Amino acid sequence: MYNIKHIGNFETMPEPAVAIYETNIEKMQSLYDANWDINEKIHLGEYTDITPLELAVVTNNFTVFKWLLENKVSLDIGGFTIIEKAAQYSDGKIIDLLLKNNALDFLPLKKYSEILIRIHYGKNYENIALFEQYGVTVKQYGGAALRSSASDGNIEETKMWIEMGADVNYHQPDMVFPYFPTPLIEAVRHDHTELAEYLIKCGADITITDKYGDRPYSLAATNKNTNLMQLLKSLEPIEWHNEQEKLKRLKSYKMPADMLTYLKTSPGKIHFSGKDCYSKYMTFYHFIDLLEMKWKRKKLISLIEEVDGYELYIVWSPAEKAICYIDPEHQIFAKICSWKEFIKHPEKHINNIIDGVYDDM
């Protein structure tokens, strides 16, 4: 059995893979002399094909790596570049040689932040200094790694990124965080109170919202974190917590008068009693906490804080003059019905949303 860290376990492997695994340079040289293509992927299993260079880097095998480099192995392995893999899995000796051999050239400038994210994943913080020498600076590219560490609740790592100059208000989208959140938004979302308080002390902007209109205060309210709510409320603009100012801000959304009246009574949680209902309840936002959001240029008001068991956004759309819903995972925006119809039969409409009844209407 071959146990290759970060890759998997294999009963058998091809000769080149075994030679690399055993750091058998003599065998590797013999295979190379017999026309082994050191740039060709090795098939290890049904879902695992890997180049010799990747295998050396992922297993942090400097001896094999150096031999491959001496024999002019190509550093261009395609999509997920070798320098990104090294940032996550290798130590400074391998990274130093890769950088000196221009491996960074295969990574577009706009993806330099991926280097620091990979260091975050691998916890190889000692590699940061090497990359800084080649222009991959924490000050310019460290925001995404900071956000990831804040989301994970790793306060020591978060402090490290901050102290090295990472942007505390970074909120560009990526595959993990496609909804434009800041590090503070992620810290509050996951209820990391101490970490959130630290970010606030470091100057995090509490007024920035994500793609769905959530801001630190609204997320603290969702988590019922009263201490964080009080802190954030004390720092937010006063008018954000004033009913008359809220009405002025909502005026352009042309919400029906009966909807506004209903929402101002703080309806809270509606329990569903039907045996066939997929969800047990839904919870409205308090009127003052209704979220303004955008979805593909549509201006919307998010009405529902939570639908039990489902990640759904139920919104008022002034363009459709109706209640609509958003399924962000499947990129669906669909019209449901009027406010009167929705509030008359909320249980039915929640079931219909989950069943996809409105998706093609």
Mean pLDDT of 89-113: 96
Cα 137 to Cα 74: distance, rounded to the nearest angstrom: 26
Q: Which residue has the higher pLDDT, 348 or 46?
A: 348
Q: What's the one-letter identity of residue 305?
A: E
pLDDT above 90 for 339 = yes
Return the residue matching tokens 């909320």: 346
Containing H/E element for 270?
strand 269-271
* pLDDT tens-place string over residues 200-237: 999 999 999 999 999 999 999 999 999 999 999 999 99
Q: Which residues of 8-32 are buried (b: 16+ CB within 10 A; e: fewer)?
A: eebeebeebbebbbeeeeeebeebb
* C-alpha of 273 from chain center: 35
pLDDT above 90 for 353 = yes
DSSP state letter for 302:
E
Domains of the chain: 162-236 (1.25.40.20), 249-355 (no CATH)
* pLDDT tens-place string over residues 139-173: 999 999 999 999 999 999 999 999 999 999 999 99
- Residue 347 is predicted with a pLDDT of 93
Return the residue matching tokens 């009167």: 340
How many other C-beta atoms lie within 10 A of the C-beta of residue 233? 15
pLDDT band per the 50, 70, 90 thresholds, residue 361? low
* pLDDT tens-place string over residues 23-49: 999 999 999 999 999 999 999 988 899
* pLDDT tens-place string over residues 232-268: 999 999 999 999 999 999 999 999 999 999 999 867 8
What share of the chain has pLDDT > 90, as a percent?
87
Containing H/E element for 9?
strand 8-10
Cα 116 to Cα 114: distance, rounded to the nearest angstrom: 5
pLDDT band per the 50, 70, 90 thresholds, residue 1? confident
Mean confidence (pLDDT) of the chain = 94
- Residue 58 is predicted with a pLDDT of 95
Contact residues for 183 (Cβ-Cβ < 8 A; gap 6+): 143, 146, 147, 149, 150, 151, 158, 168, 169, 170, 199, 204
Q: What's the one-letter identity of residue 251?
A: K
- Residue 277 is predicted with a pLDDT of 87
Tell me the Cα Rg of the chain.
26
pLDDT above 90 for 57 = yes
Burial class (CB in 10 A: 0-12, 13-18, 19+), 349: buried
